[in-house]
Amino acid sequence: MTSAPTPAVSMTRVTRDTEIWRLMLPQTMIQTKRLLMRWWRDPLTVIQSLVFPALLLVMFNAVLGRQISSFAGASALYGSVPMVSLVGVMSGSVAGAVTLGRERDQGLLARFWVLPVHRASGLAARIVAEGVRILLCTLVIFAVGVALGFRFERGAAAGVALFGVPMLFGLAFSTMVTAVAVFGAKAALVEAVSLGSSLMMFFCTGFVPLIAYPGWARPIVEHQPMTYAIDAMRGLSLGGPVRAPLLATTAWSVGAIVVFAIPAALGYRRASRA
């Protein structure tokens, strides 16, 4: 008669059996669906990701659109639509980080950690869900922009490539926010990131052309990550330089991912085991 396995042996066997890579994909999809449904049912996330950016775009076009268009020699929408899409991406990332903090404080992450699921599926699901949210937010903002007069002048292929810019920018920003969220307080996170994104919005070429800023501010405006992303999207929609701003956007985004990915993963693991 064989004796029953000890708890330590049983836990080791469960961990070994569930840490199989072929199980990661279906478990990641299940957790992605959970996150998307939770975000969709959360009014804060919906407002920050979709409603607020759409209203912001309409307001910018109504109040400043004509003046900026006459100053720049082209429709202001080719700057404001990309700018607001990035603002929506950043606002949604903050809302997602707040949700992550709630799950950590409620002990939900810790309960998932002891369930027989692949340990990497939780963080992978958040990355996939962020990608879906970013794409949806970008589609909504550009749909509003098209209704206001925005057009894809460079054709369908450039239009499709355009959506990759906010995706890359958004994933990098989300990685940074996640790293901060798993180590910091929710209130401080919202205040700091909201202030930073507001400053970036008002000091970028999507708000007004670069020449409209005072001399001391132009180097800051010209080389901040939002400006590069907006210039790349403007080039892919209206025309103009694409390669240089796209390479700069890639460098900023990849650099942020490299810097914050490991802290985000370690912080998520620590929060799950708390």
173: Cα separation from own chain's centroid: 5
230, 201 contact by CB (below 8 A): no
Instruction: Read off the pLDDT band of 187 (50, 70, 90).
Output: low
* pLDDT at 186 (0 to 100): 59
Q: Which residue has the higher pLDDT, 87 or 274?
A: 87
In 3D space, the residue among 106, 102, 107, 100 whose CA is nearest the CA of residue 123 turns out to be 100
Could you report how far apart the first and last alpha carbons of the chain are, in Å?
Answer: 39
* pLDDT at 8 (0 to 100): 43
In 3D space, the residue among 56, 124, 60, 46 whose CA is nearest the CA of residue 92 turns out to be 46
For the purposes of burial, counting CB atoms within 10 Å of the CB of 67, is it exposed (0-12), middle (13-18) or buried (19 or more)?
Answer: exposed
Instruction: Read off the pLDDT band of 9 (50, 70, 90).
Output: very low
In 3D space, the residue among 34, 14, 12, 37 whose CA is nearest the CA of residue 121 turns out to be 34
Determine the Cα–Cα distance for residues 10 and 13; give it in Å rounded to an integer: 5
Alpha-carbon torsion (240, 134, 65, 217), positive or negative: negative
**Interval 41-48 mean pLDDT:** 82
Q: Is the pLDDT of residue 82 over 80?
A: yes
Instruction: Read off the pLDDT band of 267 (50, 70, 90).
Output: confident
* pLDDT at 257 (0 to 100): 93
